[in-house]
């Protein structure tokens, strides 16, 4: 596989460029019999859509997802589900001027070194526009996990630059363009972004995603552990530079007596492990946090080089987000859903006939 497939049993194979005719993916391995319509996917896809607020890229795309196969009479058939989103607003002339230049912080230079040339229109395959298919595919996984297993996934913006946000009201994150879980901090975020825009600059962010209702036993012990696959899923999202499970880097300064999550008949007393022990889900809440770097496409002048390695003035144009992290929540949720779905089916494949010998502990503290 040349890197465009994800998952082992429940797999997503994606294709498409930012300014090509269409983006699409093939979701293979979905269990048959799941009720599924295009609107089931559209809800999640609309949440990551550009142009929906004044704080994000103004590219206009309806992002209408078509199901091309794998669904018959409203139910998944077990055969591959082909999904397609046509690109509509492809102002690729905007990009003529970066054709012969490498933008700093982008994949322009690395693509040319790898492939010999590149589709320079909007970043081509390296554009975050590709994530629309991850969200569409993730919506299938999420629906199955919710309806058949009772898994509930949610996420929110946990930090934007210096502004740290607490999940005061996690459900409210879906009602604002920042995915901010604390309605009281919205004004602060708005002001911060406006100032940034005026400065022609951008900012990093932290996003947290969680899954409740994951039973113990999903994952593998050594290489394709649940946490390793989560790390891969998250680090593979554009602009992500760090991934934490549970306590994450806080564990560096913790003592064992503080970090280990004591088990009692009433459940776990804490969740520093983030729901994964030895690569396998523990039945606690799965907690994953990611760091997103600031958009490199800013109007602050830089002094980049051209494709011949010579200095070349550049001003980034195109339509960009001042904080890509602001739109990452639905993408990270989708990736979490894909990993969990894959591991659910893998676990079922190997261990479906395991007879329970030990009672399942209550999840305990989230």
Overall size of the chain counted in residues: 366
Q: How much is the CA Rg of the chain, to the nearest whole Å?
A: 21
**Does 245 interact with its own copies (rule: CB under 8 A)?**
yes
**Does 41 interact with its own copies (rule: CB under 8 A)?**
no
Least Å from the CB of residue 128 to its own copies: 10
Q: How far apart are CA 335 and CA 135, in angstroms?
A: 8
Exposure string (b/e) for 216-251, b if CB count within 10 Å is 16 or more? bbbbbeeeebbbbbbbebbeebbbbebbbbbbbeee
CB nearer to its own copies: pick between 21 and 175: 21
**Does 236 interact with its own copies (rule: CB under 8 A)?**
yes
**How many residues in the shown chain lie near its own copies by CB under 8 A?**
168
**Does 167 interact with its own copies (rule: CB under 8 A)?**
no
Per the DSSP assignment, residues forming a β-bridge with 14 are 25
- Contact of 326 with 178, CB cutoff 8 Å: yes
CB nearer to its own copies: pick between 127 and 173: 127
**Does 257 interact with its own copies (rule: CB under 8 A)?**
yes
CB nearer to its own copies: pick between 139 and 277: 277
Least Å from the CB of residue 187 to its own copies: 20
Only one residue has tokens 């680090």, namely 235
CB nearer to its own copies: pick between 7 and 171: 7
Give me the phi and psi of 79, to 5 degrees please.
Answer: -95, 165
327-346 residues in contact with its own copies (CB under 8 A) are: 345-346
Q: How far apart are CA 99 and CA 45, in angstroms?
A: 30
**Does 296 interact with its own copies (rule: CB under 8 A)?**
yes
**Does 33 interact with its own copies (rule: CB under 8 A)?**
yes
185-204 residues in contact with its own copies (CB under 8 A) are: 196, 201-204
Among 93, 187, 198, 355, binds its own copies (CB under 8 A): 355
**Does 277 interact with its own copies (rule: CB under 8 A)?**
yes
**Does 254 interact with its own copies (rule: CB under 8 A)?**
yes
Among 50, 167, 274, 364, binds its own copies (CB under 8 A): 274
- Stretch in the footprint of its own copies (CB under 8 A) among 44-52, 112-120, 171-179, 326-334: 112-120
Q: How many CB atoms lie within 10 A of CB 168?
A: 13
- Stretch in the footprint of its own copies (CB under 8 A) among 41-49, 185-193, 214-222, 326-334: 214-222
Least Å from the CB of residue 254 to its own copies: 5
Q: How far apart are CA 158 and CA 327, in angstroms?
A: 12
Among 130, 185, 318, 341, binds its own copies (CB under 8 A): 130
Which residues have CB under 8 Å from 161's CB, separation 6+? 192, 203, 204, 205, 323
- Contact of 207 with 329, CB cutoff 8 Å: yes
Q: Taking Cα atoms as reference points, which of 190, 277, 288, 309 lies closest to residue 246? A: 288
DSSP state at residue 180: -
Which residues have CB under 8 Å from 64's CB, separation 6+? 38, 42, 85, 86
CB nearer to its own copies: pick between 184 and 200: 200
**Does 15 interact with its own copies (rule: CB under 8 A)?**
yes
Least Å from the CB of residue 132 to its own copies: 12
**Does 74 interact with its own copies (rule: CB under 8 A)?**
no
Among 14, 56, 57, 90, binds its own copies (CB under 8 A): 14
């Amino acid at each position: 596989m040349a890197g465009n497939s994800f998952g082992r049993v429940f797999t997503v194979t994606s294709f498409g460029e930012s300014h090509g005719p269409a983006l699409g993916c093939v979701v293979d391995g979905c269990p048959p019999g799941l009720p599924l319509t295009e609107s089931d996917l559209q809800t999640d896809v609309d949440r990551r859509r550009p142009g929906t607020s004044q704080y994000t890229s103004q590219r206009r795309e309806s992002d209408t997802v078509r199901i091309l196969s794998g669904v018959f009479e409203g139910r998944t058939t077990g055969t591959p589900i082909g999904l397609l989103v046509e690109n509509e607003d492809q102002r690729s002339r905007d990009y003529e001027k970066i054709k012969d230049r490498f933008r700093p912080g982008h994949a322009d230079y690395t693509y040319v070194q790898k492939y010999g040339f590149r589709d320079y229109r909007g970043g081509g395959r390296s554009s975050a526009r590709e994530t629309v298919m991850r969200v569409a595919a993730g919506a299938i996984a999420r629906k199955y996990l919710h309806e058949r297993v009772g898994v509930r996934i949610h996420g929110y913006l946990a930090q934007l630059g210096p502004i740290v946000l607490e999940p005061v009201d996690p459900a409210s994150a879906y009602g604002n363009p920042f995915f901010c879980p604390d309605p009281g901090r919205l004004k602060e975020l708005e002001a911060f972004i406006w100032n940034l825009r005026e400065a022609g600059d951008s900012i990093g962010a932290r996003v947290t995603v969680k899954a409740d209702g994951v039973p113990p036993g999903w994952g593998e012990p050594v290489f394709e552990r649940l946490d390793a696959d989560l790390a891969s899923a998250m680090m593979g999202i554009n602009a992500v530079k760090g991934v934490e499970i549970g306590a994450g880097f806080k564990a560096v300064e913790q003592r064992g007596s503080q970090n280990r999550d004591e088990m009692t008949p009433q459940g776990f007393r804490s969740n520093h492990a983030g729901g994964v022990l030895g690569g396998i889900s523990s039945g606690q809440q799965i907690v994953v946090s990611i760091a997103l770097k600031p958009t490199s496409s800013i109007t602050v002048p830089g002094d980049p080089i051209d494709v011949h390695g010579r200095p070349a003035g550049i001003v980034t144009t195109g339509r960009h987000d001042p904080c890509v992290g602001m739109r990452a929540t639905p993408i990270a949720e989708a990736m979490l859903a894909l990993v969990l779905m894959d591991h659910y089916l893998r676990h079922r494949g190997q261990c479906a006939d395991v007879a329970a010998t030990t009672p399942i502990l209550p999840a305990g503290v989230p």
